[in-house]
Amino acid sequence: MEISVKEMEANSNSISDIKVDASFRKIPKNAICFHIWKIDEDRLEAEPKSQYGVFIDDCAYIIYAASPIGGYVNQYTITREVKSSCTVERFIHFWLGEHVSEQKRSNVAHKIQELDSYFNNTATEYRETQANESPRFLSYFKAGITIKTGLLLNSPDANRLYQLYGRHFLRCIEMKSISWEYFGADYVMFLQTSQHLYVWIGRSSSNIERRNAIELANILRANSDDIMIVDDGYEQSMPEKQKREWNSFLPLNQRVVCQSSSAIEKTVCNKMKIYKCCYRNNRLHLDQLDVVIPTKEDLNDSSTVFVLDGTSQGVWLWVGNQAPHQEKTGALGNGRAFVKKKKYPYNTPVIRVTESHEPMEFMRLFPSWHSDSGDSQFTLKPSPTVLGKFDSLTLCQRPKMAADTQLIDDGTGERKVFRILKDQVIEITANKPTVFITTSSYIVQYTVVCNSMNTSDSESVGVKQVIFQWNGVEASADVTNKAEKFAKNLFENVAQKNMFVQMNEYDETPHFLQLFEGKLIILHSEKEVFLQTKKSNSNNNINVLENVQKPDHFILKIFGDATYNAKAIEVLPLNSLNSKDCYVVQNEYVWVWCGQSSTGDAREVAKKVGSVLGENSLVMENKEPREFWLSVGNLMSQTLIVNGLNNCNSAASNGSNGCASSGLSPPGITNGSLSGIATASGSMQYLQITHKSRWQAQLFLVWTQRGKFFSQEIMGYEQSDLSPESVYILDAGILTYVWLGKYCTAIEKEKYLNLAQHYLETVPMARRPNSAVAIIRQHDEPNIFKGFFDTWNYKHWQNYVNYITKRQIMATVSCDVETPLTNGCNGSNISFNKLPPALLNNQKDFDRHQKYPITVLQQEIEFLPPEINPLKREVHLTHDDFVSLFHMSFWEFDELPAWKQQELKKKHKLF
């Protein structure tokens, strides 16, 4: 791809000598701070803190945020200098309003170059546009942002119309005029007059948007008696005085509400391409790299710039330390040129990062990226190797340790294990060894141990039971679906506080493995693994079966080196014995083979697995007796049997072993890690993902709208960011948590696994769709979840009032005064002091249906919108239209006999 200089925006060559604005020079270079400036023509004006979060749509703004690495600041941050030893990461955002002039766009681009040069061109630069702001930008304004129109700034008319949306970060946008054309079923609207503030609730808006809008209305209007709630489709039910005022601005006879507003949030994209920038013949060329999953090593040239394209976050430009100065300062311009060349939308985000100063959200795009700083706040430690003991009491008292280790307790609690087959559920008795078959699914019902009489410790643990679902990679869909139904039934019907963890083979969580103390055995098929009666042969110390029944033959490879990460997996066939690993062999005898380079901890795990199978013999590499090679020969691949046994026979006499040192290894097994195993039939291979350190956990608000999945990241998250009326995903790498708010919708409470699956399929990083998922409810959060939050207050939601309750309170209060302030008080279908059925979600979800004008619904069948059932047209009327036609409410109509309903519908041409 070739880009000409004409396509570039705000190229640094246009600035011969950058002089830093005096406003920027006032910023301490080693300070944590947050500042906003507005571009007023060619001047820079510092915004007062009282105006932070308020923007004008024909202006441009510069936002500067400086925080400790991995930390976050916001609009309330107070400037404070830090020691020189504290590393500060810097972010420069420039925000462009929808109607900003070309001159202001050019001026702001020049000014950010001045600010960036003041900090030696090390800051991360974001190009932000109205309605398409980055998660980091939005994180600065947790109370939401307000955007005013420049056309009305000096208008003497105080009457205004605002459009509100945003499930977490509420956007309140001023419209340039008061008109029905701005109304949409997805929005909440504010009509502000001298007498009242009308809050119009779109039927497709979410409860959290409605609640936040009412909260904002209470802030804007000091006297709550002036606030009037109007429900979409119930405008005629307003009290006469308010209805007259409403009609003077928005005549009800002209009412038109868009049924499906334009997409407010973007769906997630996770396909990424990398281009290397280079100049040929004084023209910029972008050469695409041949990569599938990007790695840090792809950014292998510090003297140039790389472009990353295709993520939901926009276009990234990575600038190497040795890149020419003009490329550092002109990177954003080149990024804009790239956007134009690719014909992407104008509001596509462009972000510039510099080598060694990459922000968290950039590094997360690379699954293999590891921090060289060693700062613990960056990484999630999946094992407590440096934390000392992790007994149940310590873990319940230290949620952060529980989160770091992902261990709820020490795994010694009571457990019930159920094997799920296609036609039956079998409970496995506790006295049998724990053997999972890869063609089956298993449910483990585990009771958590606290070992403390202190109530606060029990609150810290959070759950009494954990329901685990484990699916073998060869289990059929029928089996896994039956297991899921069984597990969900336990999760949803057990009275105790609990959580549900669903995982697949090779994605076991640390706490799940801890239950089995590292002795979990996974086999390809049914085998006899428990040898009850044995005796020792004193001559060669070989264990011999005393009973007649012969055991099945198999080889287990040991993975892990501790109780919380270890398991034994059948290898079939075995191509070699790797010196870094340990194996357990069962045939007529039980052998525990340990490679020369294996660790002592791994050998201890292997010996524990061997003891599960019965008495065993420990064999070290290069010291194997002849009997060992004779007994394992039939379990190895045919090629190795011939070569290996010849070597091994001679090795038995000279004390060396030709098999283990042959250097051969089975397909997919490299450096002691399993990346693929052939099944008995050799027809399936699957990937083993090891638990690696990753960047700190991420929090996402997730939802579905009109059949599409959406997610929004919340950076710098706190407990207060979890709204009881929503669903969130906390991605901790090892485990993906789905947090169900107490007041989330009935569909979300039922389809929580679907939300998790959608997230894993669209997350902008390399993740497997079958990664482990944990479902938790509000007030039942386990310590391994709460530990990801800096502080956790058990009483945080004690006084929380959800939207429905808030409306009921407002209706009760308003109906007791002379002038009611909600249209639910005296609607024709509502008894005194009650809310409209739209809120109560009554019979047949009348208010959930898309609404259309009467004239549309009276058309011939072939002209009706596709989602309308010709026999049920009446449910697509608004309440007001329904009453005007039938002179009764839908709920009264629904009580009529079917023949009477049909007769009325024919009369009004709705049948």
Burial of residue 3 (CB within 10 Å: 0-12, 13-18, 19+) is middle
Structure tokens, 701: 């608000």
- In this predicted structure, which of 454-458, 501-505, 755-759, 819-823 has the lowest mean pLDDT? 819-823
Q: Is 861 domain-assigned?
A: yes
The SS3 assignment for 387 reads coil
- Range(s) of the domain holding residue 197: 156-254
Average pLDDT of span 263-287 = 75
**Same-domain pairing of 406 and 498:** yes
Check if the beta carbon of residue 171 is closer than 8 Å to that of residue 164.
yes
In a domain, 509, yes or no: yes
Which letter, b or e, does each residue of 197-213 get, where b requires 16 or more Cβ atoms within 10 Å of its Cβ? bbbbbbbbbbbbbbbbb
For residue 179, pLDDT over 50 is answered with: yes
Q: What percentage of the chain carries pLDDT values higher than 90?
A: 57
Q: How far apart are CA 464 and CA 579, in angstroms?
A: 42
What's the mean pLDDT when you consider all of the chain?
83
Residues 6+ apart with CB under 8 A from 288: 1, 273, 274, 275
Out of 166-175, 613-622, 804-813, least confident range: 804-813
Q: What is the pLDDT of residue 694?
A: 44
Give the Cα separation of 195 and 228 in Å (integer): 10
**What is the reported pTM?**
0.86
**96 and 160 share one domain:** no
Contact present, 49 and 140 (Cβ < 8 Å): no
Structure tokens belonging to residue 86: 């504290």
The mean pLDDT of 184-188, rounded to a whole number, is: 93
Bridge partners of residue 523, in order along the sequence: 437
Least trusted range by pLDDT, from 276-280, 581-585, 819-823: 819-823
Q: Which two tokens stand for residue 325?
A: 């100065």
Side-chain half-sphere CA neighbours of 206 within 13 A: 27
- Phi first, then psi: give them for residue 879, nearest 5 degrees: -55, -45
Report if residue 463 sits inside a domain: yes
Give residue for tokens 């482990």. Answer: 772
Do residues 464 and 349 both lie within one domain?
no
At 553 the pLDDT is 86
The tens digit of pLDDT for each residue in 8-20 reads 544 444 444 578 9
Tens of pLDDT, residue by residue over 722-764, are 999 999 999 998 899 999 999 999 899 999 999 999 999 887 6
Please state, in angstroms and rounded to a whole number, the distance separating the CA atoms of residues 853 and 256.
8
Cβ-based neighbours of 285, under 8 Å, separated by 6 or more:
1, 2, 3, 277, 278, 279
Residues 87 and 207 in one domain: no
* Residue 13 covered by a domain: no
SS3 assignment, position 58: coil
> Does 404 share its domain with 519?
yes
**Confidence band, pLDDT 50/70/90 cuts, at residue 655:** very low
* Residue 332 and residue 295 share a domain: yes
Domain assignment present for residue 19? The answer is no
Q: Tokens at residue 814, please?
A: 């308003």
pLDDT at 261: 66
Q: Does 266 fall in a domain? A: no
Outline where 697-770 has alpha helix (H): 746-750, 752-762
Distance CA 668, CA 677 (A): 7
For residue 201, being part of any structural domain is answered with yes
pLDDT of residue 54: 97
| Same-domain pairing of 475 and 523 | yes
Helix (H, G, I), strand (E, B) or coil at 727: strand
Q: Is the pLDDT of residue 59 over 80?
A: yes
Contact 693, 251 (CB under 8 A): no
Average pLDDT over residues 180-201: 95
Report pLDDT digits (tens) over 519-546: 999 999 888 765 444 444 444 444 443 4
Query: Which one has a higher pLDDT value, 99 or 538?
Result: 99
Same domain, 491 and 560: no
In angstroms, the Cα distances linking 153 to 95, 167, 192, 423 are 19, 28, 15, 71
Q: Report the alpha-carbon distance of residue 869 to residue 911 in Å, rounded.
A: 10
pLDDT of residue 810: 82
Sequence-distant (≥ 6) Cβ neighbours of residue 854 within 8 angstroms: 877, 881, 885
Q: Which of 697, 707, 152 is nearest to 377 (CA)?
A: 697
Selected residue with higher pLDDT from 307 and 310: 307
Contact 91, 134 (CB under 8 A): no
**If you average pLDDT over residues 452-468, what whole number do you get?**
85
Kindly provide the residue ranges of all beta strands, DSSP E only, lying in 154-232, ordered along the sequence: 160-165, 171-174, 188-192, 197-201, 227-231
Looking at the chain, how many residues does it have?
911
The single-letter DSSP state of residue 540 is T
**What band does 389 get if pLDDT is binned at 50, 70 and 90?**
low
pLDDT of residue 19: 85
CATH number of residue 590's parent domain? 3.40.20.10
Residue 566 predicted with pLDDT over 90: yes
Report how far residue 640's alpha carbon sits from residue 657's, in angstroms, rounded to the nearest whole number. Answer: 13
- Extract the tokens encoding 629: 């090679």
Sign for the pseudo-dihedral over CA of 813, 818, 824, 829: positive
Domain assignment present for residue 794? The answer is no
**Domain identity same for 141 and 169:** no
CA distance 429 to 439: 20
Judge contact between 694 and 379, C-beta under 8 A.
Answer: yes
CB under 8 A, 24+ apart: contacts of 855-862? 857/910, 858/908, 858/909, 858/910
Is the confidence at residue 243, as pLDDT, over 50? yes
pLDDT for res 638: 43
761 in helix, strand or coil?
Answer: helix
Q: Over the stretch 839-869, which tens digit does the pLDDT of each residue have?
A: 554 445 788 788 888 888 999 998 888 888 8
Classify strands 188-192 and 197-201 as parallel, antiparallel or unpaired. Answer: antiparallel
Same domain, 211 and 278: no
pLDDT higher than threshold 80 for residue 116: yes
In a shared domain, residues 400 and 522: yes
pLDDT, residue 848, reads 78
| 323, 347, 364 - which closes a domain | 364
Is residue 561 a contact partner of residue 588, using CB atoms and an 8 Å limit?
no
Choice between 374 and 82, residue whose per-residue pLDDT is larger: 82
Q: Are 207 and 167 in contact (CB under 8 A)?
A: no
* pLDDT band for position 637 (cuts 50, 70, 90): low
Please give the tally of structural domains in the chain. Answer: 7
Between residues 797 and 653, which one has the greater pLDDT?
797
DSSP state of 690: P
* Paired tokens of 398: 């230290």
Residues 141 and 193 in one domain: no
Buried b / exposed e over 729-742, threshold 16 CB at 10 Å, is bbbbbbbbbbbbbe
Amino acid occupying residue 164: L
Among candidate residues 345, 364, 383, the one where a domain is terminated: 364
Q: Is a pLDDT exceeding 70 seen at residue 302? A: yes
Tokens representing 458?
């029990």
pLDDT at 78: 95
360: exposed, middle or buried (C-beta count within 10 Å: 0-12, 13-18, 19+)?
A: middle
Peptide bond into 573 cis (omega under 30): yes
Residue 257 makes CB contacts below 8 A (sequence gap 6+) with 180, 183, 184, 185, 202, 232, 851
* pLDDT for residue 645: 36
Alpha-carbon torsion (480, 481, 483, 487), positive or negative: positive
What is the model's pLDDT at position 581? 95
